[in-house]
């Protein structure tokens, strides 16, 4: 991808990151959700609050001054989000964000990385499997209007 830049997020990036996550998540998972849940998620204030609080642990992918992807880690070694706008997928931005996250986890001294991904999101599960991640368990959760199974995955970093 031409002129792709990966950089640490700034506090002022929160709104743009929230928009990327919502669009990418809804696009990847829309078959899983009934229409009313889609509307609720699209307006959920929880995500924006979380991103505004966590911006110090987020990297963004930027093309021509526009944020087109984001990855977030936490101090427990969890990659808790990795999203690229649908129109920019398949061009290397996801891999570049992923490498930034793994680099940051290694630099922080983590020996293992963890994440959860929806079992039905086969693209994402394949993305992680091809990078050495191993499924370590599953959990099923039921929130109003939405029942989902998530796969827990782990990667040794040492
Ligand atoms: C998973 C995701 C972050 C990958 O980002 P990306 O920018 O498409 O990734 P890349 O371009 O670096 O390619 C990743 C892989 O997908 C393959 N790919 C090719 N075309 C693709 C396409 N149109 N869409 C998705 N992946 C494609 C690439 O060949 C590459 O294969 P590899 O894993 O064997 O190297 C992105 O698809 C995404 O945001 N998906 C929706 C949200 C999501 O599921 N997030 C992860 C769970 S939290």
Domains of the chain by range and CATH? Answer: 4-156 (3.40.630.30)
> Ligand 1 center to residue 89 CA distance, Å?
6
Q: Is the pLDDT of residue 42 over 90?
A: no
| pLDDT value at residue 135 | 97
CA distance 153 to 116: 6
Q: Which strands form 134-143's sheet, in the order they lie side by side?
A: 112-118, 146-156, 134-143
CB atoms within 10 A of CB 93: 24
Closest residue (by CA) to atom 16 of ligand 1?
Answer: 90
| pLDDT value at residue 34 | 65
- Helix axes 45-54 and 14-29, enclosed angle (nearest 10): 130
Q: Is 28 in the pocket of ligand 1 (CB under 6 A)?
A: yes
CA distance 150 to 142: 11
Q: Is 151 in the pocket of ligand 1 (CB under 6 A)?
A: no
CA distance 126 to 51: 26
Atom of ligand 1 nearest to the CA of 121: 44
- Helix axes 35-42 and 14-29, enclosed angle (nearest 10): 170
> Ligand 1 center to residue 80 CA distance, Å?
16
| pLDDT value at residue 38 | 59
> Ligand 1 center to residue 97 CA distance, Å?
11
| pLDDT value at residue 143 | 74
Q: Is 74 in the pocket of ligand 1 (CB under 6 A)?
A: no
> Ligand 1 center to residue 11 CA distance, Å?
26
Using one digit for the tens of pLDDT, what is the confidence trace for 77-115?
A: 999 999 999 999 999 999 999 999 999 999 999 999 999
CA distance 79 to 131: 14
């Amino acid at each position: 991808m031409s002129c792709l830049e990966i950089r640490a997020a700034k506090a002022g990036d929160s709104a743009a990151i929230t928009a990327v996550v919502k669009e990418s998540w809804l696009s990847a998972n829309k078959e899983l959700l009934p229409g009313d849940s889609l509307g609720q998620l699209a307006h959920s204030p929880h995500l924006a609050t979380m991103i505004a609080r966590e911006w110090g642990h987020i990297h963004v992918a930027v093309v021509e001054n526009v944020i087109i992807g984001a990855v977030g880690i936490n101090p427990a070694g969890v990659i808790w989000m990795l999203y690229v706008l649908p129109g920019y997928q398949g061009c290397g931005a996801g891999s570049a964000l992923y490498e930034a996250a793994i680099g940051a986890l290694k630099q922080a001294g983590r020996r293992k990385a963890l994440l959860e991904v929806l079992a039905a999101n086969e693209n994402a599960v394949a993305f992680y499997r091809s990078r050495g991640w191993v499924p370590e368990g599953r959990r099923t959760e039921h929130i109003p209007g939405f029942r989902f199974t998530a796969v827990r995955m782990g990667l040794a970093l040492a």
